[in-house]
Amino acid sequence: MSQDRDKKSPVPAMPNIFVSYARADRGKTAAFVQALKSTGLTVLWDADIPLGVQWQDVLQAKLNDCTAFLVLIGRQGVSGWIHPEVGVALSRHFTR
Residue boundaries of the structural domains of the chain: 24-90
Specify which residues 5 forms β-bridges with. Answer: none
pLDDT for 96 equals 54
pLDDT for 18 equals 92
The model's pTM = 0.75
The C-alpha atoms of residue 81 and residue 25 are separated, in whole angstroms, by 13
Question: Which is it for the CA torsion 46, 52, 55, 59, positive or negative?
Answer: negative
Mean pLDDT by 10 residues, the chain (96 residues): 50 79 92 95 91 89 88 83 84 67
Alpha carbons within 13 A on the beta-carbon side of 34: 6
pLDDT for 61 equals 87
